[in-house]
Chain A
Amino acid sequence: MSEKVLMKGNEAIAEAAILAGCRYFFGYPITPQTEIAAYMAKKMPKIGGTFLQAESEVSAINMVYGAAGAGARVMTSSSSPGMSLKGEGISYIAGADLPCVIVNIVRGGPGLGGIQPAQSDYFQATKGGGHGDYHLLVLAPNSVQEMVSLTIDAFDLADKYRIPVMLLGDGTLGQMMEPVEFSNDNISHVYEKPWATVGTQKKRKHNIINTLYMSPEELEYTIIERQKKYNSIVQNEIRCETSYLEDAEYVLSAYGTSSRIVETAVHQLRKEGYKAGIIRPITLWPFPSHIYKKAAEHAKAFLSVEMSMGQMVEDIMLAVNGKAPVHFFGRTGGVIPTPAEIVSKVKDIAGGNASE
């Protein structure tokens, strides 16, 4: 076990990426994630890595495309408006089946929005954001420590499945400091990348990275093939944390920052005699639908708590599939919900005073 250090979430992500073997980082300044770039700018030259500040997010993501194609462990980070600009490049990377890690430290939107934390990019992260039939594997940490472990895992998952992996945090997690530990236990594997375009040495056929298909049948074939990979991710990579679920009548669900608040609220509700439980998805895609489905067998109602106007709630509804009412409580635009608000919402639901 190594010693604990006090670190900002953003810095912890950067350090974890380096620990995972990331040696290429392409960034662009935007609040509230710029510390990741500044940390990389300081550290990368010292360890023979590359830090490069692009002239825009569009360029940064396409640098990632290039480095990923060459088989490098590569990362970029941004915050919501910058992620919109990266959308095109992300779609290309997904279409080319290339591994990389993309960090989104979400702030309030749409438009310029604000610089305060939000969870309003759930749709963008899990349903596309860029064009075409594709998925990102989306990991949602809820502590600085988990930002470390999930960043390391993100690189492994990306290489394992040749898929862009998104680490979805928010301004709170990026900016807050918590004690973290960098242990060597979960240091990632090295994956062979025979598909990488690194020169043939005249010993093999050319590797080709491409997203353009003139024949619709050929394009359809690649999409169907990719779908098999997605199915295997759904089978094997779902991560979810639950508590007090066994006898829960009221199932509260949240990810990231809001899950910490929900935890406090559920402790309060249990003290007051309400049978409340928590489902916290750690992978937002693939979504832990089966856990909700199972919980729906005994739950009286579900409540999704988000820092948005209700995005994950749609996935919960799909999972619960009408077996129980699914309610929503959210604050947005950079406002963070309080435990008291959540407790009172659950009491309203329990008292039959809340509409779905």
Chain B
Amino acid sequence: MAFKLKEEALKPERLTGGHRMCAGCGAPVVVRAVLRALKAEDQAVICSATGCLEVSTFMYPYTAWNDSFIHSAFENAGATISGAEAAYKAMKKKGKLPADQTIKFIAFGGDGGTYDIGLQSLSGAMERGHDMVYVCYDNGAYMNTGIQRSSATPRFADTTTSPAGSSVPGKQQQRKDLTAIMAAHHLPYVAQTAPLGSKHGGFKDLHEKAEKAIYTEGACFLNVLAPCPRGWRYDTPKLLEMTDIAVDTCVWPLYEIVDGKLTLSYIPKEKKPVEEYLKAQGRFRHVFKKGNEWMIEEIQKEVDRTWEDLLNRNETK
């Protein structure tokens, strides 16, 4: 069925307004888009790792979630949702839950809670193959505690624990390729996506991938780019401009891996230079200073290398 946002938007919201996420934040946009892919009649158990999303949407006794919601700690969203799913399966087998009732298990974590401290429990959950989806909303730093570098922070980005200055050029390491790590778990469905502007089909890519991830049996993983206006330093209305340019420069390639087969979801006719992505964000301001040209070259080189690699692995030419 073709994706029509107008029709999808008629579904009741599962993450309602009134939560305390910042204006211009990508995370709640991602969550709403992922949850729109649920059939209206299906229920969900949502688990969130500690992070902006959790502290701002679930301020007990208030909640913005219309589905069941669990939060326990920072490092264990993968384990917590595994336990809930295992209990569901057992209860269903014993006939303690109605046979015609479908409950989906979806975990959300930021990059700190997913790439770093939560990687162990995520890997365990994925390897065991629980029927679940783990969604990483990747904003490239620990934004909740005030912008500290994570292993998802792009090289040279300025954060409070990778401060750009005369001694340190910002974050010194390349970001970890988490999507590839998840694919190495031989999952039935892994995808990288983002909420996008209308020229890239808007929410189509994200919606379709979320739908596949939710309704493919087994452990599935989505890595979703979710810009943060505080950490990236952009004007709040420019959220989708950020993701658009990330896709056009191939900084954030869109692809999916179905049973090991990789398909690029979008190949720009003309790959834009990485400067266009960098200049839109305050966290990269220093790379444009005289004498720092090498930083831009290094970033471009890494983007080119990753993109070439994906083009070579793309099985749907």
A29 touches which of B72, B148, B151 (Cβ 8 Å) = B148
Q: How many residues from A make CB contacts under 8 Å with B?
A: 21
**CB within 8 Å of B: which of A19-39?**
27-31, 34, 37-38
How many Å from the CB of B181 to the closest CB on chain A? 13
How many Å from the CB of B203 to the closest CB on chain A? 31
**CB within 8 Å of B: which of A84-114?**
85, 111-112
* B165 (CB) vs chain A CBs: closest residue: A42
Q: Are B116 and A38 interface neighbours, CB within 8 A?
A: no
- A45 CB contacts on chain B under 8 angstroms: 167-168
Q: Quick one: given A30-B145, A46-B167, are A51 and B161 in contact (CB under 8 Å)?
A: yes
**CB within 8 Å of B: which of A37-51?**
37-38, 41-42, 45-46, 51
Q: Quick one: given A29-B112, A45-B167, are A55 and B149 in contact (CB under 8 Å)?
A: no
- For B50, B73, B112, B117, the residue with the greatest tally of chain A CB atoms inside 10 Å of its CB is B117
Q: Are A37 and B151 interface neighbours, CB within 8 A?
A: no
A37 touches which of B75, B119, B161 (Cβ 8 Å) = B161
Q: Are B162 and A41 interface neighbours, CB within 8 A?
A: yes
B146 touches which of A27, A34, A51, A81 (Cβ 8 Å) = A34
Q: Are B167 and A112 interface neighbours, CB within 8 A?
A: no
Residue-by-residue, is B118-143 near A (CB-CB < 8 Å gives 1, otherwise 0)? 01000000000000000000000010
Q: Are B145 and A34 interface neighbours, CB within 8 A?
A: yes
A56 contacts B by Cβ under 8 Å: yes
A53 contacts B by Cβ under 8 Å: yes
Q: Are A29 and B165 interface neighbours, CB within 8 A?
A: no
Q: Are B50 and A55 interface neighbours, CB within 8 A?
A: no
CA of A76 to CA of B165 in the docked complex: distance in angstroms? 24
How many Å from the CB of A155 to the closest CB on chain B? 22
Q: Quick one: given A112-B50, A112-B73, are A56 and B145 in contact (CB under 8 Å)?
A: no
B163 contacts A by Cβ under 8 Å: yes
CA of A77 to CA of B142 in the docked complex: distance in angstroms? 17
B71 contacts A by Cβ under 8 Å: yes
* A51 (CB) vs chain B CBs: closest residue: B161
- B160 CB contacts on chain A under 8 angstroms: 34, 37-38, 41
How many Å from the CB of A40 to the closest CB on chain B? 8
- A51 CB contacts on chain B under 8 angstroms: 161
B161 touches which of A31, A41, A46, A111 (Cβ 8 Å) = A41
Q: Are A55 and B116 interface neighbours, CB within 8 A?
A: yes
How many Å from the CB of A90 to the closest CB on chain B? 17
Q: Are A53 and B149 interface neighbours, CB within 8 A?
A: yes
- B72 CB contacts on chain A under 8 angstroms: 112
CA of A30 to CA of B112 in the docked complex: distance in angstroms? 11
Q: Are B151 and A41 interface neighbours, CB within 8 A?
A: no
How many Å from the CB of B240 to the closest CB on chain A? 28
CA of A46 to CA of B163 in the docked complex: distance in angstroms? 12
- A37 CB contacts on chain B under 8 angstroms: 148, 160-161
- A29 CB contacts on chain B under 8 angstroms: 112, 142, 145-146, 148, 161
CA of A316 to CA of B160 in the docked complex: distance in angstroms? 42
* A40 (CB) vs chain B CBs: closest residue: B161
**CB within 8 Å of A: which of B168-193?**
168
- B73 CB contacts on chain A under 8 angstroms: 81, 111-112
How many Å from the CB of B71 to the closest CB on chain A? 7
Q: Are A55 and B117 interface neighbours, CB within 8 A?
A: yes
CA of A42 to CA of B159 in the docked complex: distance in angstroms? 10
**CB within 8 Å of B: which of A228-284?**
none
How many Å from the CB of A128 to the closest CB on chain B? 21
- For A41, A46, A53, the residue with the greatest tally of chain B CB atoms inside 10 Å of its CB is A53
A53 touches which of B50, B119, B146, B161 (Cβ 8 Å) = B161
CA of A249 to CA of B74 in the docked complex: distance in angstroms? 48
- A28 CB contacts on chain B under 8 angstroms: 117
* B142 (CB) vs chain A CBs: closest residue: A29
A56 touches which of B117, B163, B168 (Cβ 8 Å) = B117
* A41 (CB) vs chain B CBs: closest residue: B161
- B142 CB contacts on chain A under 8 angstroms: 29
How many Å from the CB of B158 to the closest CB on chain A? 11
- A55 CB contacts on chain B under 8 angstroms: 115-117, 119, 151
How many Å from the CB of B176 to the closest CB on chain A? 10
CA of A199 to CA of B108 in the docked complex: distance in angstroms? 46
CA of A112 to CA of B80 in the docked complex: distance in angstroms? 15
CA of A38 to CA of B160 in the docked complex: distance in angstroms? 5
- For A34, A46, A57, the residue with the greatest tally of chain B CB atoms inside 10 Å of its CB is A34
CA of A55 to CA of B115 in the docked complex: distance in angstroms? 8
- B163 CB contacts on chain A under 8 angstroms: 38, 41-42
- B112 CB contacts on chain A under 8 angstroms: 29
**CB within 8 Å of A: which of B27-55?**
50
CA of A349 to CA of B146 in the docked complex: distance in angstroms? 45
Q: Are B148 and A53 interface neighbours, CB within 8 A?
A: yes
Q: Residues on B close to A: CB < 8 A?
A: 50, 71-75, 112, 115-117, 119, 142, 144-146, 148-149, 151, 160-163, 165, 167-168
* Interchain residue pairs with CB less than 8 A apart (30): A27-B161, A28-B117, A29-B112, A29-B145, A29-B161, A30-B145, A31-B145, A31-B146, A34-B145, A34-B160, A37-B148, A37-B161, A38-B160, A38-B161, A38-B163, A41-B161, A41-B162, A41-B163, A51-B161, A53-B148, A53-B161, A53-B162, A55-B115, A55-B117, A55-B119, A55-B151, A81-B73, A112-B50, A112-B71, A112-B72
Counting from the closest, the 9 A-B pairs by CB-CB distance are A29-B145, A45-B167, A55-B116, A56-B117, A38-B160, A41-B161, A29-B148, A29-B142, A53-B161
Q: Residues on A close to B: CB < 8 A?
A: 27-31, 34, 37-38, 41-42, 45-46, 51, 53, 55-57, 81, 85, 111-112
